[in-house]
Homo-oligomer: A and B are copies of this chain.
């Protein structure tokens, strides 16, 4: 199926600069798709450190199991990603395919297999043809290049309608460092996390433990605050690689080193940018929806309420229909299970207060809200009036196109 580019896609894709210590090779391996690139090999400089956050699914794929196993060593020399087959639920054959692919990549990159990280995305339950990947390795290795970030982002897409890239610069002390990221994801998107792959790279020199702390925090506010359809994937992975091949900066040993402040800002922005691109490419999305909750008893309770609203099919179809049906927001708050008091609840849409103290405000005029609903970016704010917990999540509307895409994905 060929899909039209999402109407919410950014007007133009950013240009990513080369990043010292990273070379990318994206090729057509013919694993599932025809006439498009579907295999990405990334070569990383010696000394590259790595951090990762992975799906909490009980049926995680074989590549996720592999990455979890080798993450504690904190060292990476390669990354291998294929699109079209998730290599999930293939039993021992799935693990064997991972071993075979990692071995071939390690031979090409002259490193240990355990230094190669893997991700696969696509159909679940069909054996992955590892031999096809092995056969394509030479070609991928020859394609290695420091410039082709756009090709890399395109090669990891499945139902995505546009490649997702972002870049930031930051200072560590007086030294400039660069952060580049690519991501994919469009459906089966829900925290924790999504059919969502994210690969972030920096030329900074940071210990793996520091990277892991920074990545956990950045993902908690970005990738783990988006949902398209509440369906959590078996393959979700976000990894952050630090090559240390950029300009030399002060030695950093702890995540709370004050010299990391600007780097943290840049990393958070990078993750937020990429995560929102995923929502903007939500299957069938016509509207980008931000749901913010304040006044909850805790941040976790606020997130529960926000996700209950963001995942409600009735809220999402109302928004698809540009219908200011705020009663469904009341419903979704009520069903979330988090503490809420009907008679303290306040709701705003598009900055217009619709309800306060458990009822519609006197003289409520739907016209400005209806106007807001016709726009592309929808803002729903809920104040629970109970405490200081707050959270913001992002989602998209539920449209006919979601059903078109998903009623026949495999064909």
**Interface residue? A317 (CB, 8 A):** yes
Count chain A residues whose beta carbon lies closer than 8 angstroms to a beta carbon of B: 69
A126 — which chain B residues lie within 8 A by C-beta?
A: 327, 360
Those of A172-198 within 8 Å (CB) of chain B: 187-188, 190
Does A398 sit at the interface, judged by CB under 8 A? yes
Residues of chain B with a CB closer than 8 A to A234's CB: 330-331, 334
Give the distance in Å from the alpha carbon of A115 to the alpha carbon of B355 in the complex: 32
Chain B residues near A407: list those with CB within 8 A: 317-318, 320-321, 323
* Interface of chain A residues 344 through 401 with chain B (CB within 8 A): 345, 355, 357-360, 398-400
Find A403's partner among B127, B233, B317, B340 (CB 8 Å cutoff): B317
Q: Which of A108-140 contact B (CB under 8 A)?
A: 123-127
Copies of this chain, count: 2
Verify B331–A406 contact, CB threshold 8 A: no
A 16-62 contacts with B by CB, 8 A: 55, 57-60
Contact between A60 and B360, CB atoms less than 8 A apart: no
The listed residue (B124, B190, B334, B410) touching A57 by CB distance below 8 A is B334
Determine how close the nearest CB of chain B comes to the CB of A360; give it in whole angstroms: 5
Q: A126-B360, A314-B406 are in contact. List 14 more A-B contacts (CB 8 A).
A: A55-B334, A59-B330, A59-B331, A88-B327, A125-B355, A125-B359, A230-B311, A232-B331, A232-B334, A233-B331, A313-B313, A313-B398, A313-B402, A320-B403
